[in-house]
Structure 1
């Protein structure tokens, strides 16, 4: 593992401007960022191609690159497993437009999810809707050269894709080289089915496109060291699997929003102590 694999992320910088976040990431010495595409920073309805390219120049002026592009898909009405086809079609269009945005930002990896799923709707139906929608989205991703990192969520959001076996089934059903998986240390612990090691083992190293590397109790998406997850073991697992991708610091707890740079600095320090 290398220090350059760790990505700053703007999730907990939402009380500060995007320029402040880029300045902060540059000050701390990061080389890459995971860019959360959401208001107030980057709501795609407010960005045409020209403005995206201008943002890309600004990012490069900060000596940074976007390692992963993450459209907001928890707060926004986004779900590929919704029973209403109009809802799913809007979701497909949403992801396709964000793939185009990722290309404008010279980013070849984008996070996707199944979104919310109703508990009183047949799970197999919801799975089929999700697979069909991702097949459409993947055609766009393949044509644009973008890898989609599919992130499982906890049972409080969905029952379609929580654990490694469900994620692998969805990848195999869609069967696109553009669709891979994402491992989130806190989500895996909260779900409680897989360990981080068994999650990657079941998914397969070849199917792991991105990692969210955060602490938890479990739950919370905390700065490494602020929770009780065994992140040292997770880091060892990544090294054993010879993981070459990025680790996004998806820090979400509101305790960090007033002083986000301190949180990012401590996350970087935790990682640096172990990587050297």
Structure 2
């Protein structure tokens, strides 16, 4: 690694289905990287909450036998496919299922978003989104979970002032922020400036990078090769003592929201992106403040 000491792999994870559709492929990719944690979204194309009980038990056993922890379950709650007008009962049911599955996986984080508007006025959209996230946070707190709102789809997805308003008005210890370094490029905002404003509330980080062509086309790149200021974002997090996990979501071969679902064969670019992330973090390690044991999993 060009002479730099390696960044602690205990603080690195990956969204498994970005590497492979099958659980075996996901575990193999993390094994190649030597990382000890997985962020779980889908297995064999099925969302974690949709796996039948027997399949889920087998998944949990397989992950445990591989010696891996699970740092977060990436839900569909409030995401690009569930606008604010969609039945709220679907989100509540998914959270209840994921609460049980978090307990089985020794995991306490669930990723959410804050609902596309579906034609509502901004004030009504805001009120409904804040109300829903608040009710979800109440339920999460009762289950001992923390919801992580991602800077992606929804009312508070692309503006720091809305993210801060969401956290303030929900007012729950069960709601924190998930910051994705690369989401600003496709969503049209400057991610580093957003991170500066919301930093105290960030409890989990996704790493990706991208470039936008003049025609608006977005191409995802290895971390550090795009225009998302990945290194600047990671340095800021390290300098200010961020204690959590850096979870790789490179989008090189898998982009569900663009009709590119998880398929086997994505392992090689995922591993390449992981190695690049390690090198970027190793160069930034001298700027890091000492931190306690990383947050994100109970293990």
Q: Same fold (TM over 0.5)?
A: yes
Counterparts of residues 232-243 of structure 1 (less than 5 Å) = 232-243=231-242
Please point out which of 196, 203, 214 is paired with 2:198.
Answer: 203
For residue 3 of structure 1, report the CA deviation from its aligned partner.
3.1
The answer as to 2:26 corresponding to 1:13 is no
- Counterpart of 1:106 in structure 2 is 106
Structure 2, unmatched stretches of 5+, are 1-6, 213-217, 255-261, 283-299
Please point out which of 276, 280, 292 is paired with 1:270.
Answer: 276
Looking at structure 2, the residues matched to 102 and 220 of structure 1 have their Cα atoms a distance apart, in angstroms, of: 33
Looking at structure 1, the residues matched to 249 and 180 of structure 2 have their Cα atoms a distance apart, in angstroms, of: 9
Looking at structure 2, the residues matched to 100 and 221 of structure 1 have their Cα atoms a distance apart, in angstroms, of: 34
The answer as to 2:114 corresponding to 1:117 is no
Residue 114 of structure 2 aligns to a residue whose secondary structure is coil
Change in CA separation of 1:110 and 1:194 when aligned onto 2, cut-off 3 Å: same
Looking at structure 2, the residues matched to 192 and 220 of structure 1 have their Cα atoms a distance apart, in angstroms, of: 14
Where is the helix percentage greater, Structure 1 or Structure 2? 1
Counterparts of residues 219-230 of structure 1 (less than 5 Å) = 219-230=218-229
Looking at structure 2, the residues matched to 127 and 102 of structure 1 have their Cα atoms a distance apart, in angstroms, of: 29
Residues 128-151 of structure 1: CA deviation (Å, up to 9, x unaligned): 111221222112211221111101
For residue 101 of structure 1, report the CA deviation from its aligned partner.
2.0
- CA RMSD of superposed structures (Å): 2.6
Kept in 1, the 8 Å contact 2:115–2:155? The answer is: no
Looking at structure 1, the residues matched to 109 and 27 of structure 2 have their Cα atoms a distance apart, in angstroms, of: 19
Looking at structure 1, the residues matched to 33 and 23 of structure 2 have their Cα atoms a distance apart, in angstroms, of: 15
Please point out which of 150, 161, 170 is paired with 2:166.
Answer: 170
TM-score, length basis structure 1: 0.84
Structure 1, unmatched stretches of 5+, are none
Residues 108-160 of structure 1: CA deviation (Å, up to 9, x unaligned): 11100113222x3111111111122122211221122111110122xxx5445
Tell me how many residue pairs correspond in the alignment.
264
For residue 28 of structure 1, report the CA deviation from its aligned partner.
2.2
- List, as ranges, runs of 4+ consecutive aligned residues in structure 1 with deviation greater than 4 Å: 73-77, 218-221, 255-258
- Counterpart of 1:78 in structure 2 is 82
- Counterpart of 1:261 in structure 2 is 267
Change in CA separation of 1:13 and 1:2 when aligned onto 2, cut-off 3 Å: closer
Residues 39-87 of structure 1: CA deviation (Å, up to 9, x unaligned): 6144533322x543432221121121111110245888534x22x6xx1
**Greater relative contact order (Cα 8 A, min sep 6): structure 1 or 2?**
2
Change in CA separation of 1:263 and 1:274 when aligned onto 2, cut-off 3 Å: same
